[in-house]
Each structure stands twice: as structure tokens, then as C-alpha cells.
Amino acid sequence: VTSVDVAREAGVSRATVSYVLNDTPNQRIPEATRRRVWEAVERLGYAPSAAARTLRRGRSDVVLWLLPDWPIGPMVGRVLEGLAVALAEAGLALVAHPRAGNRRPVSEVWRAISPGAVIVWETLEPDDVAAMRAAGIDVILVLMGGDGPAGNGLEISEQRTGRLQVEHLAARGHRRIGYAHSHDERLLTFAGPRLAGVRAACADLGLDPPDVRTVGLDAERAADAVSRWRTATPAVTGVCAYNDEVALAVLAGLHAHRLRAPDDLAVVGVDNIPIAPLADPPLTSVFVDPERLVDYIVRGVLAGLSGEPAPAAPGSDIVRIADRGSA
């Protein structure tokens, strides 16, 4: 059932159908005609072909999120969900594509979708950006690592995350800070700004630079890192973990030595995952407020689509802390 059918049913031309359905300005169509068209639409159950609309318009009402290469955690899941809801309010459908190791060019995906906007966490190859723009995608939201104002929005928050970890520890008297890096190299995009924030906060507070160690999701190796921190000179008494999973590994390393946070070593995670309160002791965690992040991204997309300037980067209070006892 196409617009031809509706036109026939309503006794008008296809053009009129289009004008009525789109409420085109500068087209004065009497109420009676409008009603006839709408009735025909209802009767026939007509729904415009999105494919034809996309061909004509050059873009679809889809927003494409290029998922990063790293494992999808609960944080991404929450943001994805919130974003889908918020964009749906604006008539946009969100879909996510897992890049999965760049085995095939990303262009295959965005060409197949012709999205109105593309969102990426991390940097995009300049070639890809150019190709997208050439293909008419002019809303490209790079959340981190980009060079525009939008590109820095999240990066600042990530740095703030690291800073807040240190500030929390320093406020509890810790003078020598450790940093627990993830074993997964794919996470370096995130680790970079977070660690930079940690370093900056240490410098600002007059502390030594952090003692950085890699901690896999493995209690034995974590126990090894714990030993080294405790025997360093001066000894590390508080650790910022890359994320909650790594923080849980550090806690497991402490258990292996029959030690406990926060007295033997304080630990602060990132992300506030649902099981953080279940850790022993419950895990203190810094996190980016998912709702505010969603709001920021949505405003960026909508502004871009309507040609308005990008919204201001979120304030530093987008980063919060759940203080639970491990630090």
C-alpha cells in the first residue's frame, strides 16, 4: 500500500497526499480534503516507505552509534537505553553497530543505513569522517578524542573522573596514590584521560605522581600488584582503579593477603556497576551520571540536525561519587 493507493482512495493526487501528510507550509488545502486523505490513510493502513524517503532526502531518521571495540559494560548499556528513549521522543531511531575489531570498513554500515547522525565514543579515522561528510552525513558526534568542542565534552568528564578519585582519597589523608590500569589494551582511549586526570590531581594537590600498575582480572596477579604498592617507598595507601572490575580485582588481591580495604589499602573504582554495593567492603565508585550524559548527547544530536551550534560541554558535576566504604 503506497501513496498511490491513498491518493486513489481519497480521490486526489499523490502530491496532495504528500502535502497533507507532511503538513507542508504554503499549501492551502481545505480541511475537508485533509480529512479525506487521513481517512484513506487509516482505512488502508498506509505507512510511507522509509526506503523511498531516505533515497529522496539523502538521510534516514536513524541515528547510528558506532560502538567501541572494547567490551560493552553496564554503563554503555544504560546510556544506550536512555538514548534510545530520548531520541525516540524526537522521532529518531537509535541503532548501534558493534565495530568488532575493524575487520570490515565501517563505511559498509553507514552507507547501508544513511543515518542522519553518527555517534562515536572514541576517535574516528579522518578518512572516515571525510567520507561521511561527502555522503551527506553532517552530524558526527565524537564524544572523546575529537578536536571540536563536542569532541572534548566527554574527555573533560573522563579527566574529572580521575581527579575525583584522587580528591576523595586525598581528603581521607592518603598522600601516595596508586593507579590500577586495565589489562585490556583496547581500553586505552578511556584510560588515557582518566589517568591524565589522576596525574593532574596529584600534581595540583602536591602529591607524588601515581604508582601505575597493570592489574588483570585475576586475583593472583592483583595480589602481586598489592604487594608492590604496599612495599613501595613511600608506600601507596590509596588506589584509583581504571573501573569497577579492576577495583574488584584489587579487592580480591587484598583478600588473598588477608588484608582489607580501606585500612590496608583504599580502593576507588569507576562506573558504579550494579554489583559495586555487593563487594566486601562495598565499593566506592566514581561515575558519570548516565541521565545527564544522555541528555548531553541528545542535545548534541538534535542541535546538529537542525543546524544549531553544539551545546556546551557538561559541567563537572556530571561526575559523581558513590561513597561506600572501600575508600
Integer CA distances (angstroms), 227 to 75, 154, 184, 254, 267, in order: 31, 34, 22, 9, 14
| Chain contacts with its own copies (rule: CB under 8 A) | 47, 49-52, 54-55, 58, 60-62, 64, 71-74, 76-78, 80-85, 88-89, 93-101, 103-104, 107-109, 111-114, 217-219, 245, 248-249, 251-252, 255, 274-275, 277-280, 282
Contact between 18 and DNA per CB under 7 A: yes
Q: In the set 39, 42, 43, 55, which binds DNA (CB under 7 A)?
A: 55
**Beta strands of the chain (E only): which ranges?**
62-67, 93-98, 117-120, 139-142, 177-182, 211-215, 238-241, 266-270, 284-288, 319-322
Contact between 112 and DNA per CB under 7 A: no
The answer to whether 122 and 145 are in contact (CB under 8 A) is yes
Contact between 16 and DNA per CB under 7 A: yes
Decide whether 202 or 223 has the Cβ nearer to its own copies.
Answer: 223
3-state secondary structure of 320: strand
Q: In the set 9, 19, 194, 215, which binds DNA (CB under 7 A)?
A: 19
CA–CA separation, 58 vs 311, rounded Å? 25
At closest approach, how far in Å is the CB of 85 from DNA? Answer: 24
Q: In the set 48, 216, 282, 325, which binds DNA (CB under 7 A)?
A: 48
User: What torsion, rounded to 10 degrees, do the Cα atoms 84, 86, 90, 91 define?
Assistant: 20
The H or E element that residue 88 is part of is: helix 74-89
CA–CA separation, 285 vs 263, rounded Å? 17
Q: In the set 3, 157, 237, 284, which binds DNA (CB under 7 A)?
A: 3
Is there a cis peptide before residue 210, judged by omega within 30 degrees of 0? no
Decide whether 251 or 310 has the Cβ nearer to its own copies.
Answer: 251
Q: DSSP assignment, residue 311?
A: P
Decide whether 98 or 148 has the Cβ nearer to its own copies.
Answer: 98
Q: Which does 107 bind (CB under 5 to 8 A by kind): its own copies, DNA, none?
A: its own copies
Q: Which does 78 bind (CB under 5 to 8 A by kind): its own copies, DNA, none?
A: its own copies
Residue 17 CB contacts under 8 Å (≥ 6 apart), including other chains: 3, 6, 7, 10, 37
CA–CA separation, 245 vs 225, rounded Å? 15
At closest approach, how far in Å is the CB of 33 from its own copies? Answer: 26
Contact between 22 and DNA per CB under 7 A: yes
Contact between 135 and DNA per CB under 7 A: no
Q: Which does 82 bind (CB under 5 to 8 A by kind): DNA, its own copies, none?
A: its own copies
At closest approach, how far in Å is the CB of 26 from DNA? Answer: 8
At closest approach, how far in Å is the CB of 167 from its own copies? Answer: 26
Contact between 107 and DNA per CB under 7 A: no
The answer to whether 247 and 206 are in contact (CB under 8 A) is no
The answer to whether 255 and 219 are in contact (CB under 8 A) is yes
The answer to whether 173 and 95 are in contact (CB under 8 A) is no
Decide whether 185 or 308 has the Cβ nearer to its own copies.
Answer: 185
Is there a cis peptide before residue 262, judged by omega within 30 degrees of 0? yes
Decide whether 53 or 172 has the Cβ nearer to its own copies.
Answer: 53
Q: In the set 39, 42, 43, 52, which binds DNA (CB under 7 A)?
A: 52
Q: Which does 104 bind (CB under 5 to 8 A by kind): its own copies, DNA, none?
A: its own copies
* Alpha helices, H only, 172-312: 188-204, 219-231, 244-256, 290-305
What residue ranges bind DNA (CB under 7 A)? 2-4, 11-19, 21-22, 24, 27-30, 32-34, 46, 48-49, 51-53, 55-57
